[in-house]
Amino acid sequence: MRAMGSGDGHARGLARDAIERAKAARALAGAIESGERLGARASSAVRERALRGALDCGDVESATTIARSLVERHGRESARAVVLEAACARAGGAIDDAERTIEEALERAPGDQRLMRARVACALDRGDDLGAIERLCEYLDVYAADEEAWTRLGKLYLARGEYDKALFCYEEVVCALPFDPNAHRRIAEVLYTVGGRENWRDAKNYFAVALDFTNGQDVRALYGVVMCVRRLKETEDEAEATGIPVSEGVALADAAVERLLQRYALENESLLGVVRRTTLRRD
């Protein structure tokens, strides 16, 4: 019999925790509906945790009951309570109701960060990418240090093929998180996609930074380095015009290939042949 690994144990632990949170949320919602005296369980923090647990488990009915109790307790002047109520409406598919709730709250508290973020979420839930972009731009005009919002905006622009705008967003993320390998790799991938010798050179450098920050463990960055150097070698005739030498990054690419082969040999040997053919291909 196969021994249960640590991963299995962790998954089982998460499942048990989810079940317990669902039970607690259901019990709290039932107590609220029945008018039971809740004692310590009546605190807003406890209710919010139970609400989020219910949403995580798909129990929208219990979450909605708890949200209403929070609105009753704090009033609609509380952006936090209103956002939770709207989150329940969104989870139940009532996006228009959620948006109406958020817009009304914004009239009372213009510029509230939680409400503005929730407004973006409504557009995303509806699949309205243009609306989400517009609302994110409005949000970032006020809260420009929110790297998560910049990342989301960059992904939306990327999906629309607006690479210059996506690149600007990801550069903002790097400014906020200069040691985040994912931020550097996103820029590299955009530059590689746009193409051109200078962009491939810059993409290679960003991929290299991502590798530095992950001790050479970022597989996407390893492949990225290899592909960038390959493109640079394919455009050798442009080397003199751009001033980028033909040998740009060759040693780094060779090291990346070696690291990839070693990693697949240890972790996924069945794909080693495919990796070898891909990375060692000569054009």
- Which two tokens mark 230? 């390959």
Query: 221: which residues sit within 8 A by CB, 6+ positions away?
Result: 181, 185, 188, 207, 208, 210, 211, 214
For residue 2, give the 3-state DSSP assignment: coil
CA pair distance 207, 223, nearest whole angstrom: 9
pLDDT digits (tens, 9 = 90+) for 17-68: 666 776 777 777 777 776 565 554 568 888 888 888 888 888 899 899 989 9
CA 72 to chain centre: 33
The identity of residue 84, as a single letter, is L
CB distance 82 to 102 below 8 Å: yes
The pLDDT assigned to 40 comes to 47
Q: Which tokens belong to 226? A: 């290899």
Beta strands in 14-119 (DSSP E): none
The tens place of each residue's pLDDT in the chain, 283 residues long, gives 344 444 565 555 555 666 677 677 777 777 777 656 555 456 888 888 888 888 888 889 989 998 998 998 899 899 999 999 999 999 999 999 999 999 999 999 999 999 999 999 999 999 999 999 999 999 999 999 999 999 999 999 999 999 999 999 999 999 999 999 999 999 999 999 999 999 999 999 999 999 999 999 999 999 999 999 999 988 876 666 666 666 778 899 889 989 988 888 888 887 777 878 777 665 4
